[in-house]
Amino acid sequence: AQVSVAKVILAVFGVAVVVILIAVPTAIFLNKDTDEGNQRTFTLEDAFNNTLKPKSYNLRWISDHEYLHKSQGSVTIHNVTSGTSSEFLSKATFDQVQAYDYQLSADGKYVAFMSNYSKLWRHSFTATYSLYDLETGYVFVFSMYFQAYVWNYNVYVKSAPESKPVQVTINGEYNVILNGIPDWVYEEEMFSSHQGFWWSPGGKHLAYIETNDTEVQIIEYTWYGDEQYPSTVLIPYPKPGTPNPVVKLFVVDTNNVTDITEVVVPAPFGSGEHYLATVTWVTDERIAVQWLKRLQQHLILQIYDLTGSTWNPVEVKLDVMNRYYYFISIRPGMTQNSPFSKQLNLHATTLLLKGRITTPWLGLGKDLVLNQNKYINYISNILWTKQGTRNTNPCLTCALQGEDCLYNSAYFSHDASYYRMSCSGPGIPKYSIIDNRINKEKTVLENNEDFKGLISDKAMPTMLRDKIKLYGFDLWYQMYLPPGFDKSKKYPLLIDVYGGPCSQKADYIYRVGWSTYLASTEKIIVASFDGRGSGFQGDKLMHAIYKRLGTYEVEDQIRAAREFIDMGFIDKDRVAIWGWSYGGYVTSMVLGAGSGVFKCGMAVAPVSKWDYYDSIYTERYMMQPKENKAFYENSTVTERAKKFHSVQYLLVHGTADDNVHFQQAAEISEALVEEQVDFEAMWYTDKDHGLGGAAYQHLYNHMTHFLQRCFA
């Protein structure tokens, strides 16, 4: 889990939401006690053994009835209608350029191979691109064989793959002016993507952003590396109340790259600080742009039409203040970064209040190109979570999948004749092709029979999912129960928390990991609880922590632990809590509350003070420090340092965390030292927020040993 997972809440923020079809069971079940017999437990080594994970099934729709599937180094094309398949890209072709992935051009004539991957931030990376001509079999091993790309922070376009690139912008400069790509905060918090340019449907125009970080203050951290002297990483990183990047939108005519026009922000927004939220082409001469004010309480969807060489604002299609909207694309094959439907001239929206769909799905525009009922029917069956209120439309997945599939998602072919149904749980995951025209399963892609066989001789935990009624809400929790669970016995308890705005930890997804090991081998109950501030249970619950982070979401984890102890099977003297990112923050705040409930806790990459986190995320929930001074000051971990004397605390952080900076953990460490608190700490050199590579397994080994000492 990451601090930035919750992208929208309380503020008006247009987002693309992947179509999730979730069946909502009204009965909560607990697997019956099982006899472990001679079964082996699920070990810590098993938790990091990829062969002991359920398989997924990747595919990319390329038409209404064809998709590409990559397996064992090659790519196969499948025809769903005929049931035939053939090799599309051989392993030898991938090996020719040592490619790890590929992209198919829109016209189906070229493949872009990617090699030499190097991660930058969460979504951005650098790579070597090679263009493969499917007709001739010739490979161009140059990144410049694209019709649009960014090089040294400038935008280039080409009229054809073999033509000479033409430079569109000239002012690009590292950490100052970025053309065609977002800076750190826009990538992380606004776009959830490294993409900063967008083709019009017919390819006549290219829209791109200019990100100006001139006034943004710099965060610096040391990169130790392998050289004699370490280097310093510098990132423009706006924090609450400090200058933000200035982002402008331009459109270039690809037939005449000197014809560049700014898409100007409307006057009511342009006079103050604002964000460019989304960009969506409607036609080659119409573009839809969402603008959002800095405090994220006012959003407009502005439509622009091309008149001569000017993009004129012709109408405001949506003007929302102090309400919470989801913008959902219903385009078949949509992805998370597709905020509007190309089948609708503009968009489809719904307003969520109190956990219920209170307005109809709206197709706003001149024409519905595809059958409206078919698509709206799929979207109106979205049950945002098992906690939501069941709507009256027929469930599309219930009869198909049954009680083992209560958390489902759909990925549609181009005209929605078929879709890949992904069943994520609570049973072992399953993937299949569904014929949308008759709502029948056509092909099973992956049923994980091999995985079932691998775990058949292992003593696996059972899952308990239920609700606790608190503060007038039915609040959900889940528990991993040890094999052979006996209610008359006492078990140690570990709370696995995230707790951030609009987050969810209790769900019906089937997971195998560290919690599986702890329950199976260590006989520890691992529980998660969604309290106030969590998502998908209505605005009243979610908005409870608006302008007051570090309050109710912290109190509720303490209350939940007490409720679990009262159930009678928890050892009250062996209760712990752990979390990562926002979960690390909540863990630290809980331990610093001095409740006496928890014996120990582990905080990975925690926030310590909201003043230190980025502006877009923090101000969305806390406003600016000058407008909410008391809650900024009262929501710090460091102010609770003296109450850590009574708990065992493990603090973990990567020194190259570009998201929640090492500064945050350093502040906690300093405060604890000042109070003479004895605690444990683990720093991971040159590791970012995800603690990847060898650090990841090392972390879980280290936390396991810490937990064993705590519960001894």
Catalogue the active-site residues: 581, 657, 689
Task: Map 450-498 to HEC letters.
Answer: HHHHHHCCEECCEEEEEEEEECCEEEEEEEEECCCCCCCCCEEEEEEEC
**Farthest CA pair distance, the chain:** 79
* Peptide bond preceding 426 in cis form (omega within 30 of 0): yes
| Separation between Cα atoms, residue 66 and residue 81, nearest integer Å | 8
How is 553-597 classified by DSSP, letter by letter? Answer: HHHHHHHHHHHHHHTS-EEEEEEEEEEETHHHHHHHHHHTTT-S-
Q: Residues with Cβ < 8 Å from 32, sequence gap 6 or more?
A: none
Contact 97, 130 (CB under 8 A): yes
Task: Map 411-423 to HEC letters.
Answer: EECCCCCEEEEEE
State CA 238 to chain mean position distance: 21
Contact 64, 343 (CB under 8 A): no
With both helix axes pointing from N to C terminus, report the angle between 582-591 and 552-566 in degrees, rounded to the nearest 10.
70
Task: Give the residue among 380, 420, 423, 428 at the shortest CA–CA distance from 405.
Answer: 423
| Separation between Cα atoms, residue 525 and residue 542, nearest integer Å | 27
User: Which residue type occupies 43?
Assistant: T
Side-chain half-sphere CA neighbours of 382 within 13 A:
24
674: exposed, middle or buried (C-beta count within 10 Å: 0-12, 13-18, 19+)?
Answer: exposed
Give the angle 700-665-656 at the CA atoms, nearest 5°: 75
Q: Residues with Cβ < 8 Å from 527, sequence gap 6 or more?
A: 477, 478, 479, 480, 493, 494, 495, 496, 560, 564
Contact 216, 245 (CB under 8 A): yes
**In angstroms, what CA-CA distances link 59 with 75, 93, 344, 421, 495?**
10, 19, 25, 11, 36
Task: Give the residue among 118, 109, 112 at the shortest CA–CA distance from 93.
Answer: 112
Enumerate the β-bridge partners of residue 683. 653
How is 612-623 classified by DSSP, letter by letter? Answer: GS-HHHHHHHH-
- Structure tokens belonging to residue 101: 């992935």
Phi and psi, residue 572, nearest 5°: -65, -20
| Separation between Cα atoms, residue 435 and residue 432, nearest integer Å | 10
| Separation between Cα atoms, residue 183 and residue 185, nearest integer Å | 6
124: exposed, middle or buried (C-beta count within 10 Å: 0-12, 13-18, 19+)?
Answer: middle
The total of other beta-carbon atoms located within 10 Å of residue 392's CB is 5
Torsion angle defined by CA atoms of residues 105, 111, 113 and 118, in that order, rounded to the nearest 10 degrees: 0
